[in-house]
Structure 1
Amino acid sequence: MPNLQETLDLTAYVALGDSFTEGLNDPAADGAFAGWADRLAVLLAADRPPGGFRYANLAVRGRLLDQIVAEQVPQVRRIRPDLVTFCAGGNDILRPGSDPDEVAGRFEAAVAELADSAGTVLICTGFDTRGVPLLKHLRGKIATYNGHLRAIADRHGCQVADLWSLRAVQDRRAWSEDRLHLSPEGHQRVALLAARSLGLRTEQDPEAPWPSVPELSPAEQRRENLQWARGFLLPWVGRRLRGESSGDHVEAKRPELLPL
C-alpha cells in the first residue's frame, strides 16, 4: 500500500461533528479531550516537517446534524482544507421518532457542499449497537442510516470509515463508563481505521486482539448495569426531558487551522 502523502498529499485537515469527533472521554495531557480525530491528525502529520501539517477540530458534543451544518460546514468553505472528516447524524438517529431516510437526505446535502470545498471527504458509519443496553433497540435504524451513508459516499466520491464492521469495538474495553463514548483505546482503534480508510499504512492494526481477561459473572453484569443506569442513563434522560444538551455553552476545542 503506498504512503498516504504520495497519493493525497495532505497538509490541512478539518474535523466536523459531535462528541464522537470532539473526543469525549479520551483525556489529553493539556486537560482537554483528544479523541480519534486528534489521533488521526498525529498519524497524518508523522512524515511532515515541523509546521508542515495543520489541523482544526470544530466538533462540539451534543450537536445535531442541522447544528453542525449551520455552525461548522461554513468554516470549511472558508478554510478549504485538503481533508474533512464529517461524522454527524448520530444524535438525530437516537431521538425518538427520527427517520433515518430523512436524516440521510440532509446529510447528503451537506456532503455535496463539503465535496466542493475540500479535497477529500471522509465519513463514518454508525457503530453496531447490538451489545449496548437500550441502544440495541435502535440497531435497525442505525443500519438503515448506514446504508444511506455508503450510497452517499459512492455518489460523491467520499472515503468511508466503516465503524459498523469494526469488530474491535464490540469489546466493552473500547467504551468508557458511560457506554456512549469511546475509551482512549477505542478512540485509537477508530483513528487507525480512519487512517487505513484513507490509504495510510499503519504499524498498529485496528482489529488487533484485545488481551485476554476473565468474563464478568451474571451478578457482576447486573451490578454494572445498575451503576451505569444510576450514574449515566438517568442523568441523560433528565437532560432530554429538560431540553438541555451536554454541548450547551461548549465551544470547539481547536477552531482554527493551526500547525500540529
Structure 2
Amino acid sequence: MVHEQSESGRAAIGSFVALGDSFTEGLGDETSDGAIVGWADRLAGLLARRAPAPFRYANLAVRGRVIDEIIAEQVPRVADLRPDLVSFCAGGNDILRFGSSVDRITERFEEAVVELGAHAGTVLVFTGFDPRNTPVLRRLRGKIATYTAHVHAIAHRHGCPLVDLWSMKPLQHPLAWSEDRLHLSSEGHEHVARRAAEVLGLAPVRHGAGAGARQSLARKPEWQSARQPERLQDLRWAKQHFLPWLGQHLLGKNSTEVLKPKRPELLPL
C-alpha cells in the first residue's frame, strides 16, 4: 500500500490499534456522561486530522490486564487488522505484583514487539512512570526504573518510536493524576497524547512556558486539600483507593465482571 507522506517524512498513518490495560483504555479521563476517553482516543483524533483518507481506529485495551493476558487476547488481533500503527504498553500491572520478575516481563514484552512488528507498520511503545511522588508505590521506583531501561533497549533494537513516560515533567505534577493517583487525569492523558504525536512526528506539541502554563502548574487538583496535612491525605488515599486496588490486582482478586474492549473493531473514527 502506498501512503502519502506526513510533514515529518514518515508515511501518513491511516489506521491505529491500541493495546494494553487501564492506561490505554483511558481510565481517569471520563466525560460528564461517564464515557472513557484517554490518551489513545486523543491521539487517534490528532492522527485523524492528518490522515489522507478516512481514519480507522480500534482500542483493544482492558483494565487490569497483565502482560500474558494482553499477549494472548490482544496481540493476535493485530495479524488480522494489520494497522499502520499499533501502540503497545504492557507490564505495569505485572511489575506491581509481589515477586514478579522484571526480566521475564520484558522478555515477554520483546516477544510481543517482534510479533507486532510483523503485522503493523509501526510499533509505538511506552516506558513506566516515575512513581517518586506516589506513596507506597515509590518503594518500587528501582524496579520500575529497571523495566524502563529494558524498554528503552527493546525500542532501540527494533526501531520502535518510544514515549518515555518516566522523563515527562508534566506527569510529575498532581494535576496530571486523578484522585486515585493510580490513573492519569484528563490533563495527564492529554500530555501523553501530545507527546506520542510528537514522537511520531505528526503534530507540534507546545510545552507551555507562558502565563497560562505557569498558572496551571500553580493550581492544585480538587482532591489535594490545603487544609489537611500531606500525611493525612496520603493515609486517606491509601484507605479509599490504594488498598482496594491492592486487593483486586496484586493479590489476584480481580472483579468477576466480564470486561470487553471499548472499541474492538478497526472502524472509521
Report the TM-score, using the length of structure 1 for normalisation: 0.92
Q: How far apart, in 1, do the equivalents of 2:112 and 2:40 lie?
A: 19
Give the match for residue 126 of structure 1.
128
Give the 5 Å matches for 1:212-223.
Answer: 212-213=218-219, 219-223=228-232
Letter in 2 for 1:226: L
The question of 1:235 aligning with 2:251 is answered: no
Task: Quote the offset at 1:205 in angstroms.
Answer: 2.8
Give the corresponding residue for 2:24: 21
Following superposition, the deviation at residue 48 of structure 1 comes to 3.5
Residue 249 of structure 1, CA deviation: 1.0
> Cα deviations across residues 21-80 of structure 1 (Å, max 9, x unaligned)?
00001113663210000000000111336x610000000000000000000001000100
Cα 1:119–1:130 shift into 2, 3 Å:
same
Cα contact 1:89–1:103 (8 A) shared by 2: yes
1:114 and 1:21 mapped to 2: Cα distance?
Answer: 17
Residue type at the aligned position of 1:15: A
- Paired amino acid for 2:62: V
Instruction: Sort the Cα spacing of 1:123 and 1:33 in 2 relative to 1 into closer, same or farther, 3 A.
Output: same
What does residue 92 of structure 2 align with?
Answer: 90
Please state how far the C-alpha of 1:231 moved relative to its aligned partner: 1.1
Q: Say if 1:61 and 1:246, in contact at 8 Å, map to a contact too.
A: no
Alignment of 1:167 with 2:176, yes or no, is no
1:251 is matched with: 260
- The answer to whether the Cα contact below 8 Å between 2:84 and 2:122 also exists between their aligned partners in 1 is yes
Unpaired runs of 5+ in structure 2? none
Q: 2:113 matched to 1:111?
A: yes
Q: 1:112 to 1:136 in 2, by over 3 A?
A: same
CA distance in 2, matches of 1:247, 1:185: 31
Q: Percent identity?
A: 55
- Distance change (3 Å), C-alpha of 1:4 and 1:226: farther
How far the C-alpha of 1:13 sits from its partner, in A, is 0.1
Higher mean C-alpha displacement, 193-202 vs 37-46: 193-202
| 1:144 aligned counterpart, secondary structure | helix
Compute the displacement of 1:250 (Å): 0.9
Deviations 1:192-250 (A, max 9, x none): 11111111232533885534237966943233212212211221233247632258411
Is residue 9 from structure 1 mapped to residue 12 from structure 2 by the alignment?
A: yes
- Among 143, 152, 155, the alignment partner of 2:154 is 152
Give the SS at the match of 1:158: coil
Q: What is the Cα deviation at residue 173 of structure 1? A: 0.8
CA contact (8 A) 1:189 1:206 kept: no
Kindly tell me: are residues 241 and 13 of structure 1, through their superposed partners in 2, closer, same or farther at Cα, counting changes over 3 Å? closer
Worse-superposed segment, 6-15 or 206-215: 206-215
Aligned AA (1:222): R
Unaligned stretches of 5+ residues in structure 1: none
What SS is found at the alignment partner of 2:50? coil
Residue 235 (structure 2) aligns with? 226
Instruction: Tell me, yes or no, if the aligned pair for 1:64 and 1:88 is still in contact at 8 Å.
Output: yes
2:57 and 2:267 in contact (8 A); partners too: yes
Quick one: distance in 1 between partners of 2:33 and 2:120?
Answer: 29
2:184 counterpart residue number: 182
Q: Report if aligned partners of 1:62, 1:247 keep a CA contact under 8 Å in 2.
A: no
- Aligned-residue Cα RMSD (Å) equals 2.3
TM-score of the aligned structures, taking structure 2 as reference length: 0.89
3-state SS in 1 of match to 2:229: helix
Following superposition, the deviation at residue 179 of structure 1 comes to 0.5
Residue 258 of structure 2 aligns with an amino acid whose one-letter code is H
SS across alignment from 1:111:
helix
Bigger mean CA deviation after superposition, 69-78 or 29-38: 29-38
Alignment partners' CA distance in 1, 2:190 and 2:250: 33
- How far 1:110 moved relative to its partner? 0.5
Distance 2:204 2:119 in 1: 28
